[in-house]
Structure 1
């Protein structure tokens, strides 16, 4: 059976597995974000992470609604992808000495999480739609929109602030 909690024989089985996967991932993200907030010395980065933590808690509620609509218990299935992304984020953050470079690393790690979430929610919504489960797709579409918006905000924060602050000043030639 590999990583799956039960054999996946149908598209509906896959839908349920992916819901369990992202549910686990969101739970892990709510555990990781406070550590990232604590490590962040930049007020704008800290604020972005705090906002995303609150948003993630709302997203978990939507996932629980999607499980109810599916007729299944809300439970997670270990997601090695998110575990790996979080592990790497922690390792990189612990290796960075420069506080400004740390902000770049933290934002980059947060974007890796966002990209995973965007991919997962997009897939879930597409499968739910294919199965005629527009109720599930509609319940999760706001979350996908929020994940994309958070990624755009993190990109802007990186490009307009933290990357510039971490870059060495270039002397004119």
Structure 2
């Protein structure tokens, strides 16, 4: 009997939140179709990548492990290419490259900043930097995967090609960070 009450309560909560959400007025510039959502998502990740170009040098400066520093330096170079590829995506869809603040990336970067401030230099901070960087990579992997799916549906082949290249690089970076953490940094931080 308790299950029925809980189930009924859950259905009422879901129904009332659905009603509330459907009554929420859409913003004036809200996406009306997949093309709009694709463009809006490109703006979001464009801001995110540009913010990373500014944040990665600080991470590199605060890392103490040479392999980690090199990995961050290499990813900074890749991130600059990602910005250029996104500009090419905008061009391919006939839009001007435009950044829109990405609240998710801002939160991840703020968390990374906190980790640096709240740890002493050395292996513990390096482990924290890797953890923060992997959160960023996972966000980027999810975003580029979604954008690639949108581009495929929209038959935006040039954008799709660029997005898939970047997606592969983000996955490779995540794997490298995992390897660095597993091989030497996490055990030293213990």
Alignment TM-score, normalising by the size of structure 1: 0.92
4+ residue runs over 4 A deviation: none
Contact 2:49/2:79 (8 A) holds in 1? yes
For the residues of structure 2 that align with 1:136 and 1:5, how far apart are their CA atoms?
Answer: 27
Aligned residue number for residue 91 of structure 2:
68
Q: How much does 1:97 deviate?
A: 2.3
Alignment TM-score, normalising by the size of structure 2: 0.84
Q: How much does 1:24 deviate?
A: 0.2
Aligned residue number for residue 170 of structure 1:
none
Change (3 A) 1:98 1:37: closer
The answer for unaligned runs of 5 or more in structure 1 is 168-173
Deviations 1:62-89 (A, max 9, x none): 1110000010011111100000000011
For the residues of structure 2 that align with 1:105 and 1:28, how far apart are their CA atoms?
Answer: 19
| Larger Rg over CA atoms | 2
Q: Number of residue pairs matched?
A: 166
For the residues of structure 1 that align with 2:181 and 2:118, how far apart are their CA atoms?
Answer: 19
Asked if 1:118 corresponds to 2:141, the answer is: yes
Contact 1:42/1:103 (8 A) holds in 2? yes
Aligned residue number for residue 171 of structure 1:
none
Change (3 A) 1:68 1:98: closer
Aligned residue number for residue 59 of structure 1:
82
For the residues of structure 2 that align with 1:162 and 1:99, how far apart are their CA atoms?
Answer: 9
Aligned residue number for residue 30 of structure 2:
7
Change (3 A) 1:144 1:165: same
